[in-house]
């Protein structure tokens, strides 16, 4: 173990494999469902804290990876909250795909307590988290970025300082909005092609050798839809949340977003129909059932 004292809060689908890369440090973990933290602690030799306060006490770096900024902010206050444990000089890295405005608010509050903050959302999925090859987009001042870099580099292979606090979350939201639009477009197009008598695999092979190819067509649909496996690694509800954040970023900057508005509505409908645990690719299931086809091959 190195001497660095690190705390990680939020051992979900992506948080747990990220935290596993920090186990060589003196790592303390906290999770709302304690059994998950205990299983992680046993597997990786990490200490398990009973409360966010206990996790933060004595930590030089605290990382959070929760569904939204709302849950992050809720963890900060109260007698058992992070602020009650964090000391002056600590570094707070929020790896949640969060909300830029909420992060600016939180950074200002933490600064009043002598705590530095960076938003550091990640991209690369659970596979990238396991491999330690995530792309991490950091919103922070230069000094905070320099402090954050060595710890983020344990979890990612591309650590990019993209601007001031909030800009990491803004970039992540726009990235995921592009993913959402693409899933919908690929799903619609393939449903129509299958109905028109083209085999889904053939259609994808041609698209992937042509100008319409994308990460969705090259990787996600072949691995998850054509196989009928539909693994649950990134919840559709979280992608819908990301589209909502991107729409707010467009509103705040005065940019019209008819495409993202429609994607938000369609993902909202998919979430209402498919529920909170469906995977993001399962939006295509809905299109399949509406079109009366299966995209397999």
Among 6, 7, 8, 14, binds ligand NDP (CB under 6 A): 14
User: What residue spans of 45-141 are helical by DSSP H?
Assistant: 52-56, 69-76, 82-85, 100-111, 125-131
**DSSP symbol at 11:** -
195 is catalytic: no
Q: How far apart are CA 255 and CA 248, in angstroms?
A: 10
Cα torsion 201, 278, 125, 187: sign = positive
- Which lies closer to ligand NDP via its Cβ, residue 194 or residue 225? 225
Per CB under 6 A, does 214 bind ligand NDP? Answer: no
Give 8's strand partners: 29, 63
- Which lies closer to ligand NDP via its Cβ, residue 31 or residue 217? 31
Among 92, 117, 234, 267, binds ligand NDP (CB under 6 A): 234
Per CB under 6 A, does 31 bind ligand NDP? Answer: yes
Q: Which of 21, 104, 169, 172 is catalytic?
A: 172
Per CB under 6 A, does 233 bind ligand NDP? Answer: yes
- Which lies closer to ligand NDP via its Cβ, residue 139 or residue 191? 139
Per CB under 6 A, does 36 bind ligand NDP? Answer: yes
- Which lies closer to ligand NDP via its Cβ, residue 45 or residue 78? 78
Q: Given the rule CB under 6 A, which of 10-18, 77-85, 195-203, 250-258 is the region that contacts ligand NDP?
A: 10-18
Interior angle at CA 48, CA 119 and CA 87, nearest 5: 50
Nearest CA among 172, 149, 151 for reference residue 2: 151
Q: How far apart are CA 66 and CA 117, in angstroms?
A: 16
Q: Are 84 and 62 in contact (CB under 8 A)?
A: no
Per CB under 6 A, does 224 bind ligand NDP? Answer: no
Considering only residues 66 through 125, tell me which ones interact with ligand NDP, judged by CB under 6 A.
Answer: 66-67, 71, 96-97, 122-123, 125
Residue nearest ligand NDP by beta-carbon distance: 12
162 burial via Cβ count (<10 Å: 0-12, 13-18, 19+): middle
Enumerate the active-site residues: 172
Residues found near ligand NDP in the complex (CB under 6 A):
10-15, 31-33, 36, 65-67, 71, 96-97, 122-123, 125-126, 233-235, 238
């Amino acid at each position: 173990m190195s001497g660095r004292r690190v705390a990680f809060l939020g051992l979900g689908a992506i948080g747990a494999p990220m935290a596993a890369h920090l186990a060589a440090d003196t790592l303390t973990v906290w999770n709302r469902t304690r059994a998950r933290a205990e299983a992680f602690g046993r597997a990786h030799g990490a200490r398990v804290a009973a409360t966010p306060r206990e996790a933060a006490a004595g930590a030089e770096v605290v990382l959070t990876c929760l569904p939204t900024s709302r849950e992050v902010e809720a963890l900060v206050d109260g007698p058992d909250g992070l602020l009650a444990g964090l000391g002056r000089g600590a570094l707070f890295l929020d790896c949640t795909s969060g909300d830029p405005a909420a992060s600016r608010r939180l950074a200002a509050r933490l600064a009043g307590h002598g705590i530095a903050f960076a938003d550091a959302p990640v991209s690369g999925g659970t596979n990238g988290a396991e491999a330690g090859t995530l792309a991490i987009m950091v919103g922070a001042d230069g000094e905070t970025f320099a402090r954050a870099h060595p710890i983020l580099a344990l979890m990612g292979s591309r650590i990019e300082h993209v601007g001031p606090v909030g800009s990491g979350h803004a970039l992540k939201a726009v990235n995921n909005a592009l993913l959402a639009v693409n899933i919908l477009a690929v799903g619609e197009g393939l449903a129509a092609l299958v109905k028109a008598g083209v085999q889904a695999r053939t259609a994808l092979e041609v698209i992937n050798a042509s100008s319409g190819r994308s990460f969705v067509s090259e990787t996600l649909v072949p691995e998850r839809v054509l196989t009928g496996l539909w693994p649950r690694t990134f919840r559709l509800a979280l992608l819908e949340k990301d589209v909502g954040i991107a729409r707010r970023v467009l509103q705040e900057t005065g940019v019209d977003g008819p495409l993202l508005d429609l994607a938000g509505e369609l993902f909202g409908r998919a979430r209402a129909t498919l529920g909170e645990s469906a995977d993001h690719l399962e939006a295509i299931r809905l299109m399949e059932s509406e079109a009366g086809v299966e995209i397999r091959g």
